[in-house]
């Protein structure tokens, strides 16, 4: 199991995962509120739904900026960015999304399996091995 090179990399991965999960929760709720406001013809609710859609757009933009630097420690591919790279043959999905599975496992278990190289990674900082002593 691989470990992360620094605490900054761990924070970046967790922040990008939280933003991705927020988008996946916020976008359907905003669309539902907006549709419901049109059905019942409530303008205040419509403005609220539009505000939520705008917030979802800002979350997507921020997530895109952060996730491009949140890399797998082995293959150095951004695991939470929307890349068109070939996925590992055993890569699993959650609701059809590789990124969503990585984000949920990052936030709730503290580890993830890279969808590109297939290697497991734990959210801990790897420590350098102590230098060996020379005798004689």
Specify the pLDDT at position 87: 86
What is the per-residue pLDDT across 42-96, written as a single tens digit (0 to 9) for each? 999 999 999 999 999 999 999 999 999 888 888 888 998 888 888 889 989 899 8
pLDDT band at 36 (very low <50, low <70, confident <90, very high): very high
Specify the pLDDT at position 101: 93
Distance CA 57, CA 52 (A): 9
Quote the DSSP letter at residue 88.
P
Q: Angle between the 7-40 and 43-67 helix axes, to the nearest 10 degrees?
A: 160
pTM confidence score: 0.83
Q: Is the pLDDT of residue 134 over 70?
A: no
Beta bridge partners of 122: 3, 111
Burial of 22 (0-12, 13-18, 19+ CB in 10 A): middle
What is the per-residue pLDDT across 98-119, written as a single tens digit (0 to 9) for each? 899 999 999 999 999 999 998 9
Query: Phi then psi for 133, rounded to 5 degrees?
Result: -85, 140
Distance CA 115, CA 40 (A): 43
pLDDT band at 1 (very low <50, low <70, confident <90, very high): confident
Please answer whether residues 25 and 100 qualify as being in contact, where contact means their C-beta atoms are separated by less than 8 angstroms. no
Query: Whose CA is closest to 10, among 101, 111, 84?
Result: 111
What mean pLDDT comes out for the span 10-20? 94
């Amino acid at each position: 199991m691989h470990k992360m090179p620094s605490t900054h990399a761990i924070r970046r991965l967790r922040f990008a995962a939280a933003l991705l999960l927020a988008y996946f929760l916020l976008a359907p709720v905003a669309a539902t509120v907006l549709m419901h406001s049109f059905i019942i013809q409530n303008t205040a609710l419509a403005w609220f739904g539009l505000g939520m859609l705008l917030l979802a757009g800002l979350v997507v933009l921020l997530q895109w900026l952060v996730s491009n630097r949140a890399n797998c420690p082995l293959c150095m591919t951004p695991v939470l960015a929307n890349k068109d790279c070939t996925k590992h043959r055993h890569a699993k999905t959650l609701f059809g999304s590789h990124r969503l599975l990585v984000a949920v496992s990052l936030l709730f278990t503290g580890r993830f399996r890279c969808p590109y190289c297939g290697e497991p990674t734990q959210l801990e900082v790897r420590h350098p091995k102590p230098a060996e002593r020379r005798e004689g």
